Chain A
Amino acid sequence: MAWLVVRLAITVSLLYTASAVFEDQVGKFDWRQQFIGKVRFALFDTHSQASKKLLVATDKNVFASLNSRTGDLFWRHVDKTGPEGHIDALLMYGQDAVVVVGNGRLLRSWETTVGGLKWEAVLDTGSFQAAALVGVQDFVKYVAVLKKSAISLHDLSSGSQIWVENLPDSDTVQYQTIYSGGNGLVFVLGFVPNSHIVIVEYKIEDGEIMKKKSVEAAWMSSLENSCAVISSGILLCVDQITQSLYTLPLQSAEQTEMRQIHLQTLDLEVASGFPPVLTSTQPNPAQPPLAEFFLQLSPDHHILLQLKDGLIAPLRDFNPSYLAAFATSGEKTVAAVMSPKNDTACSINLFSADTGRRHLDTTIIYHMDPNGGKPNRLYVHAFLKKDDSVGYRVMVQTEDLTLTFLQQPGRVVWMREEALADVVTMEMVDLPLTGTQAELEGEFGKKADGLLPMVLKRLSSQFILLQAWMAHLWKLFYDARKPRSSVKNEVTIDTLSRDEFNLQKMMVMVTASGKLFGIDSKSGTILWKQYLENIQPNSIFKLIVQRTTAHFPHPPQCTLLIKDKDTGLGSLYVFNPIFGKKSHISVPALPRPVLQTLLLPVIDQDYAKVLLLIDDQYKVTAFPSTKNVLQQLQDTASSIFFYLVDTSQGKLSGFRLRMDLSTELIWEVVIPTEVQKIVAVKGKRANEHVHSQGRVMGDRSVLYKYLNPNLLAVITESTDTHQERSFVGIFLIDGVTGRIVHEAVQRKARGPVHFVHSENWVVYVYWNSKFRRNEFSVLELFEGAELYNSTVFSSLDRPHPPQVLQQSYIFPAPISTLEATLTEKGITSRHLLVGLPSGNILSLPKMFLDPRRPEVVSEQSREENLIPYAPEMPIRTEWFINYNQTVSRVRGIYTAPSGLESTCLVVAYGLDIYQTRVFPSKQFDVLKDDYDYVLISSVLFGLFFATMISKRLAEVKLLNRAWR
Chain B
Amino acid sequence: MYRRLLININQVRNRLIHTHNTRLTLPSTKCKERESFAPVTWAPCTARPLGTSSISFSENKESSTSLSEDKGKTPEETEVNAEVNTDGQRNTEMNEGTEISNATLTSQLETEPVVKPEDRKQVETTKSGKESLLELLGAMKVEVTTVRKIRPSKTPRMSERPDQEPMESTHSMFQRAAAEGSQQHGTLNPALVAAVSAAASTLPNRHQAESELLKQLRKHEAIPDTQRRADIGHIISDMKVGKRPNGRSNVRPTSQIRFDDDGKGYTQDRGITSELDGVRRRKSPFTSKRLNLFAAAAEQDALSDLGPTLWDIDLVNQIVQATNQMPRNGFEEMIQWTKEGRLWQYPINNEAGLEEEASVPFHEHVFLEKHLDESFPQQGPVRHFMELVITGLAKNHHLTVQQKKEHIDWFRDYFRQKEDVLKEAEAYLN
Chain B associates with chain A: no
User: B residues within 8 Å of A by Cβ?
Assistant: none
Q: Which residues of A contact B (CB under 8 A)?
A: none
